[in-house]
Amino acid sequence: MLKIPKKVMERWPAAVKSLVTVAVSHKTRDVSEADTVTLVKDMLAEIFGYDKYNELTGEQQIRGTFCDLAVKIDGKIRVLIEVKAAAIALNETHLRQAVNYGAHEGIEWIVLTNALEWRLYRIKFGQPIDYELVSSLCIADVSSDLEEDQRRLFLLCREGITSDAMGLYHQHISVLNKFTVAQVVLGEPVVSVIRRELRRLFPELKIESEAIVELLNNEILKREVLDGEKVKDAQQRIRRAASKNAKAQAKKDASSSAAPASVET
């Protein structure tokens, strides 16, 4: 899904090991938030590959206040980073502040961290403004040999930002999840396949599509994948994809029919 450059993976083991030791020490000694910001800048440079002096800034003012850090690449802010002291457990209050920053400036990606825990959020620009957790990791627990840990680390890397790793990963998890898959299972094409297979196996029975849908809704699929905002999001995503595919097919058919017929000689 995400192609991680070899040079990125090679820098992780030593950098993660040394800086995690410092982060754990910061937590034990309950250092100030300012000290944690300094550590986070070192981590962003040595683990995640940013130019500490040219791509990380703490001077980004939004609505009269300053965010802790901002990632600015080619003159454009790509990520806002809200930092809390290493000994502080991250919570929704910290996140709301960072989301307010991003929503006001149209910045889609927010990182909330205390140097040990790193959370990546995506702002959903709607009415009202909302947000969703895309990825999280405790850097003290990661193994640079595990593929899933590699993906989570890469999302926060400079190389990941320039290759739109955050957007691609978000798109992937938005589709490959229990809510979207449940809606696909309940759709007419899958229900028809189930009905056809049951009729093939048991030709003496009369099986209707409605009965299969009722069984899926009431006895097979869990309630959590049938109701709620995430289900509505999945339904909307499927409708948009179906509409896009239908338009693409119609355009292809129109192009084919408009193509001049070959002249026989």
Q: What is the pLDDT of residues 202-246, one digit of tens each?
A: 999 888 999 999 999 999 998 888 888 778 887 887 888 788 888
Each as own residue / partner, the long-range contacts of residues 183-189 (CB below 8 Å, 24 or more positions apart, any chain) are 183/231, 183/234, 183/235, 183/238, 184/238, 185/216, 185/221, 186/213, 186/216, 186/217, 186/221, 187/238
Structural domain count, the chain: 2
Q: What is the pLDDT of residues 86-97, one digit of tens each?
A: 999 998 888 877
Does 31 share its domain with 131? yes
By residue range, what is the domain housing residue 214? Answer: 178-246
- Contact present, 111 and 96 (Cβ < 8 Å): no
Q: What is the mean pLDDT of the chain?
A: 86
Domain edge (last residue) among 116, 141, 165 = 165
Q: Is residue 59 part of a domain?
A: yes
| Cα distance between residue 39 and residue 112, in whole Å | 14
Does 191 share its domain with 90? no
